[in-house]
Amino acid sequence: MKKTGSEAVLLSLIEEGTEYIFGYPGGAIMPVYDAMMTVDRIKHILTRHEQGAIHAAQGYARVTGKVGVCMATSGPGATNLITGIADAMIDSTPLVCITGQVVSPLLGTDAFQETDVVGVSIPITKWNYLITKAEEIPEIIAKAFYIAKTGRPGPVLIDIAKDAQFGVLDYEYKKCTKLRSYKPVPAYDEEKIKEAASAINQAKKPYILFGQGVVLGNAEEEFRTFLEKSGIPAAWTILGVAALPTDHPQNMGMLGMHGNYATNVLTNECDLVIAIGMRFDDRVTSSLNTYLTKAKVIHLEIDPAEISKNVKADIPVLGSVKETLPLLTKYIEKKEHTEWIGEFKKLYAIENTKVIQKDLYPETEGLRPGEVIRIINERTKGEAIYVTDVGQHQMFASRYCKFNNTRSFITSGGLGTMGFGLPAAFGAKMGAPDRDVVLFVGDGGFQMTIQELGTIAQTEAAVKIVLLNNKFLGMVRQWQELFFDKRYAHTHMVNPDFIKIAEGYGIKGKKVLNRPELSSAIDEMLNHKGAYLLEVSIEKESNVFPMVPSGASVSDVMLEAK
């Protein structure tokens, strides 16, 4: 079947089940865009910036579990994807990024809009490849999807020279099912699993730390079965939050810098840690010299590079958690750790009095982020998909949103990319059109990708945008208050009229200044059929607590400013 390279690109994407391409056209990718006019089984979403395209693809991938696809032209189009690629790499998000490139005879000549995007992206992609011949296209795209979605997922970049897009080939597509030099899932060692089970059975104060690996491995059910047989308390990383329902009796809350009081303090009181699909990020561990001072460590992980990278694993259990967790469950004894869980509850009561109630039911005159998030979460009954940008609102949302379903919290974890939220929320809505998608965003991050309101307007995606406006870069301001003697260097924001901007895009909005207006405004937003911007003016100096200061022990948790 004779096809052009451009047609082969689109037909190959269709073979891989691609629903949407999030992208922005330009000269070097124009042949593929032209071929879209004859293909109706795939929908292209025109974003307003390439960074918006890749963050939208991330939101789509995180909600659906499928590979997100984005597309850009050469030079600046390709380099505008780089932040999103780095974000996807550290957060293990499966993406296929397709960029156009100058014709192959001009490669290396500094031609117009030429950038060596393959060279630039090597450290932040799982794999990348430059296609210079049309005949390569089907095989390379098949490999790209296989690599992106298998094992520990991640982004793959394919750069396609313009002459390869114009070229003609005998088109045939074969899905990739294995590569000789690539073993995405290491074989598990059953003896190690038995050793881990023995350690769990003997432990007096065992503690489960779980992350996004549970979700990426589609192992939520296996994890819950293991958890309930073990009777062990469990805490989550920010990307693992929705893997377990919030109200599960063994769910003790969030780990890390702004995690719960008990989950941090008792890290150094446990005698055994079972780490499941998490990578001991510095935001979780803080000072490694004072972390897990009394505990033996079992680490269940699919990526061998993560074993003993930051925290030494006494019993490493390699493999997919979907396979290893059922075996571990088989060998452990059924137990209840009532007294140990009771210690978490005692410390939670302290946090509840000193922090949580003040955040959720404040007596201050000004509105606080926690109460806004609480009311929205109550009205959506924990069934919505919540997306955040990066900053204080991100921490408030992760702490106070309650979840019933997996894949319901989309945020930028490892890279902490401001500007992620708005396009990611749009991509999430594309992936889950029948679910409410609520974005929590600050005034700083919102303005980084505010142009994507145009994408939302053009596609009529019903994203609910909750702008928590304190006229500051809030998280930086908090650090300046606590550690820089309140020297607020360049963190105050002079903001535009956000409601007028939304109205300019045809998006309905409302600004809330005081508490009596809040409840009805939230109802109006949630009941509105289309996209909606709810801007809430919040206290300028609301801080996120608890807080583990940078470099301190996780035991040294601050419940309030000193």
Catalytic residues: 50, 112-113, 162, 475
- Compute how many other C-beta atoms are within 10 angstroms of the C-beta atom of residue 357: 13
Rounded to an integer, what distance in angstroms lies between the CA atom of residue 250 and that of residue 468? 32
Closest by CA position to 99, among listed 130, 123, 55: 130
Rounded to an integer, what distance in angstroms lies between the CA atom of residue 517 and that of residue 461? 26
Rounded to an integer, what distance in angstroms lies between the CA atom of residue 440 and that of residue 102? 40
Query: Around 43, how many Cα atoms within 13 Å sit in the side-chain half-sphere?
Result: 9
Beta strands in 449-521 (DSSP E): 464-469, 508-512
Rounded to an integer, what distance in angstroms lies between the CA atom of residue 83 and that of residue 418? 10
| Contact in structure between 63 and 432 (CB atoms under 8 Å) | yes
Rounded to an integer, what distance in angstroms lies between the CA atom of residue 375 and that of residue 168? 58
Q: Is 171 left (phi over 0), alpha (psi -120 to 50) or beta?
A: beta
| Contact in structure between 20 and 430 (CB atoms under 8 Å) | yes
How far CA 58 is from CA of 54, 87, 91, 253, 506, in Å, comes to 6, 9, 10, 25, 26
Rounded to an integer, what distance in angstroms lies between the CA atom of residue 562 and that of residue 557? 11
Closest by CA position to 272, among listed 340, 330, 204, 190: 204
The neighbouring-strand residues paired with 475 are none
Closest by CA position to 155, among listed 212, 79, 96, 72: 96
* Sheet strand arrangement including 20-23: 43-46, 20-23, 68-72, 95-101, 155-161, 127-131
